[in-house]
């Protein structure tokens, strides 16, 4: 998963190349802590059935070789007891490992829904419990202990008037300023989309890092007051997770059904938070798009951050069950801290599966001996993936990158600012897309009115085989791929290209996940307000798209082409941003 990945033989972004973690059948939320001896202790929710069925429980396993091999599963809670779910681990300086989980303490078999009916899924209610291990995850305490959660209005409004709490948590607790914080979602009701209403809270302990007696651990519920962290518009705000900033602030992200993930900052240790808002790439900037799926933020030892998300979204408040779809591919941004805020890079594809319907989610991020790893699950298989540090560094350095990428550059024409009409060029051969190859087109163009449509490049012959790049009447760029057997096309979002100004465009064709992206003036197109997706899939059956080796550049188009470059590999988004900034300085 490197900045140099374009190997058609083995694209390690494909989750099939990951190392499997043991499980029963269903497996969710594989989270890992590292012991003083370097062992990985992974906890997860598992079961012989599907999510939410009886027998769902929490387990652990140990790896001594960074996920290559694992021990047998050890029960934290047994399968024949009440449902135990959504386990989150914490390791403290003494080496003790805590496992926190939602426990159906009363062993309920059903719960009242928002319509008054009874449903049988009971894994998101009860008490927040924990057990601990003092032997590196090999065994767990016989007794379990409760973490009290203060009732709020959302609890009192549930069908049990708060006598039964509905909630769950994701991710791992964080250590911040000698205290531990753990994110939870309070649920108000169960209905369409299962958790029909929700808001976020945090439980905090100021002494768990030093207190060895479980009964003497102190807990509080944040934020202050009677409400948690809500969505900007709708009823759903859940799976809150957070990081600490260097100035002592806290930053949290959470999911909604509104087409965006939410964000909030706290400047007083979690007691109060900024008003509900959608996550932004930078303060006051473009909103990040995301469905109802895990969106996790993590801080690394270098003080920088990553955000895991899915880079698409639409308002599903009226159809909340649809918001769970499309968790493939996985995108990540790299974050840096400026003046008390996180500034996010343009995103990169980090993981994907060949089956678009696969839902990749609930990651953990592991840093050990200079290496980076991600765990993930698609509900029946959980895996570990090593991430090349170069990919993360590319995202973190993207904010200042002004270098033009030269690797894979196989064609370049730089012209004075004259019309591109009828320039005959000799083109290189492009990789086979079905075999995992890719390519990128890098252009500087100048066009006048929005309706000035025309061809920028067309290599297609009589049979239609080849590629075509055109400016449409709507002011978008359309790419067409044809191998003589099938054809795919995708175009950029409306409103991104400005008239009467030089514009930089990178058209990226990634033969791994079979995805087309547009990076225009240093920003990855995300669909804007017009559509859910800014990136598009092309047919996995498209193979050789090499048409005529000679083609007309800008034939019949009235605009100007300042430069045209072709790479025989896909570019990282970070490279496309660097090319844009390089062009700005050299114009």
Distance CA 427, CA 573 (A): 24
Q: What angle do CA 426, 428, 434 make, to 5 degrees?
A: 140
Three-class SS state of 300: coil
Q: What are phi and psi of 508, to 5 degrees?
A: -110, 125
pLDDT band of residue 3 (cuts 50, 70, 90) is very low
Look at the block and give the residue holding tokens 């900052």.
265
Q: How far is CA 350 from CA 113, 275, 376, 405, in A?
A: 38, 31, 12, 20
Q: Do residues 427 and 412 touch, judged by C-beta distance below 8 A?
A: no
Per DSSP, the residues of 223-286 read SSSS--B--SSSS--EEEEEEE-TTS-EEEEEE-SSSB-EEEEESSTTSS-PPPEE-BSSTTSP
Q: Do residues 172 and 30 touch, judged by C-beta distance below 8 A?
A: no
As a three-state string, the secondary structure of 112-169 is ECCCCCEECCCCCEEEEEEEEECCCCCCCCCCCEEECCCCCHHHHCCCCCCCCEEEEC
Residue 397 has pLDDT above 90, yes or no: yes
pLDDT band of residue 2 (cuts 50, 70, 90) is very low
pLDDT tens profile 439-490: 999 999 998 766 678 999 999 988 999 999 999 999 999 999 999 999 999 9
Summarize the confidence of residues 49-67 as an average pLDDT: 97
End-to-end CA distance of the chain, in Å?
33
The pLDDT assigned to 558 comes to: 86
Q: Could you tell me which of 186, 329, 305, 327 has the C-alpha nearest to residue 252?
A: 305
Residue 420 has pLDDT above 70, yes or no: no
Q: What are phi and psi of 389, to 5 degrees?
A: -60, -25
The pLDDT assigned to 462 comes to: 87
Distance CA 448, CA 120 (A): 62
pLDDT tens profile 77-93: 999 999 999 999 999 99
Per DSSP, the residues of 13-46 read TBGGGSEEEP-SSEEEEEEEEE-TTS-EEEEEEE
pLDDT tens profile 177-208: 999 999 999 999 999 999 999 999 999 999 99
| Ranges 60-64, 163-167, 281-285, 452-456: which has the least confidence | 452-456
Residue 157 has pLDDT above 60, yes or no: yes
Q: Do residues 478 and 490 touch, judged by C-beta distance below 8 A?
A: yes
Distance of alpha carbon 227 from the chain centroid: 27
Summarize the confidence of residues 133-146 as an average pLDDT: 99
Q: Do residues 169 and 182 touch, judged by C-beta distance below 8 A?
A: yes
For 544, which DSSP code?
-
Residue 109 neighbours by CB distance under 10 Å: 12
The pLDDT assigned to 419 comes to: 54
Residue 417 has pLDDT above 70, yes or no: no
Residue 552 tokens read as 């007309």
Bigger pLDDT: 549 vs 305:
305
Q: Could you tell me which of 120, 87, 122 has the C-alpha nearest to residue 105?
A: 122
In sequence order, the 6+-apart residues with CB closer than 8 A to the CB of 525 are 492, 493, 496, 517, 518, 519, 534, 535
Which domains, and CATH codes, for the chain?
1-21+229-400 (2.120.10.10), 24-224 (2.120.10.10), 409-586 (2.60.120.200)
pLDDT band of residue 5 (cuts 50, 70, 90) is very low
pLDDT tens profile 291-321: 999 999 999 999 999 999 999 999 999 999 9
Please report, rounded to a whole number, the percentage of residues in the chain having pLDDT higher than 90: 92
Q: Could you tell me which of 154, 137, 156 has the C-alpha nearest to residue 87?
A: 137
Look at the block and give the residue holding tokens 């079905």.
434
Summarize the confidence of residues 141-159 as an average pLDDT: 99
The pLDDT assigned to 421 comes to: 52
What is the reported pTM?
Answer: 0.95
């Amino acid at each position: 998963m490197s900045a140099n990945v374009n190997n058609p033989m083995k694209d390690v972004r494909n989750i099939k190349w990951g190392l499997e973690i043991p499980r029963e059948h269903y497996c969710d939320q594989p989270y890992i802590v590292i012991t003083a001896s370097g062992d990985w202790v992974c906890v997860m929710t598992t079961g012989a059935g599907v999510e939410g069925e009886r027998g769902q429980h929490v387990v652990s396993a140990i790896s001594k070789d960074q996920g290559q091999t694992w021990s047998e599963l050890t029960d934290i809670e047994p399968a024949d007891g009440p449902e135990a779910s959504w386990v989150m681990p914490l390791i403290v300086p003494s080496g003790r490992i805590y496992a926190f989980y939602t426990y159906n303490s009363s062993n309920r078999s059903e719960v009242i829904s928002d319509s008054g009916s009874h449903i049988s899924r009971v894994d998101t209610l009860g008490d927040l419990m924990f057990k601990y291990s003092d032997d590196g995850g090999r065994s767990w305490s016989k007794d379990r202990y409760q973490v009290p959660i203060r009732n709020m209005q959302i609890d009192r409004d549930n069908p049990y008037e708060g006598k039964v709490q509905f909630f769950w948590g994701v991710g791992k607790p964080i250590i911040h300023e000698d205290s531990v914080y753990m994110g939870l979602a309070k649920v108000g009701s169960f209905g369409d989309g299962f958790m029909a209403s929700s808001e976020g809270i945090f439980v905090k302990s100021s002494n768990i890092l030093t207190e060895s007696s479980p009964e003497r651990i102190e807990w509080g519920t944040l934020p202050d007051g009677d409400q948690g962290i809500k969505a900007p518009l709708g009823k759903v705000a859940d799976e809150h997770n957070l990081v600490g900033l260097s100035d002592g602030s806290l930053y949290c992200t959470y999911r909604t059904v509104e087409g965006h993930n939410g964000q909030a900052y706290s400047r007083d240790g979690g007691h109060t938070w900024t008003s509900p808002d959608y996550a932004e790439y930078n303060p006051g900037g473009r909103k990040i798009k995301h469905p109802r799926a895990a969106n996790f933020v993590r801080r690394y030892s270098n003080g920088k951050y990553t955000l895991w998300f899915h880079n698409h979204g639409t308002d599903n408040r009226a159809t909340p069950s649809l918001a769970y779809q499309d968790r493939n591919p996985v995108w990540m941004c790299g974050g840096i801290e400026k003046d008390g805020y996180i500034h996010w890079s343009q995103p990169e594809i980090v993981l994907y599966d060949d089956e678009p319907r696969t839902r990749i989610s609930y990651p953990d991020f592991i840093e050990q001996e200079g290496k980076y790893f991600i765990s993930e699950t698609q509900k029946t298989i959980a895996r570990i993936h090593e991430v090349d540090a170069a990919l993360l560094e590319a995202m973190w350095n993207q904010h200042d990158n002004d270098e033009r990428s030269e690797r894979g550059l196989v064609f370049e024409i730089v012209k004075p600012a004259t019309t591109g009409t009828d320039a005959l060029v000799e083109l290189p051969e492009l990789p086979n897309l079905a075999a995992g190859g890719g390519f990128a087109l890098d252009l500087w163009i100048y066009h006048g009115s929005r309706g000035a449509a025309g061809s920028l490049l067309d290599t297609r012959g009589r049979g239609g085989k080849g590629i075509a790049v055109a400016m449409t009447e709507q002011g978008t760029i359309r790419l067409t791929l044809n191998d003589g057997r099938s054809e795919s096309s995708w175009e950029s979002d409306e409103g991104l290209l400005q008239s009467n100004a030089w514009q930089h465009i990178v058209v990226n064709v990634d033969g791994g996940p079979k995805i087309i992206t547009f990076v225009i003036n240093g920003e990855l197109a995300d669909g804007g307000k017009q559509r859910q997706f800014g990136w598009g899939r092309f047919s996995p059956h498209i193979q050789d798209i090499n048409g005529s080796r000679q083609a007309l550049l800008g034939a019949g188009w009235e605009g100007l082409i300042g430069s045209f470059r072709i790479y025989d590999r896909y570019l990282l988004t970070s490279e496309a941003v660097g090319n844009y900034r390089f062009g700005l300085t050299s114009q």
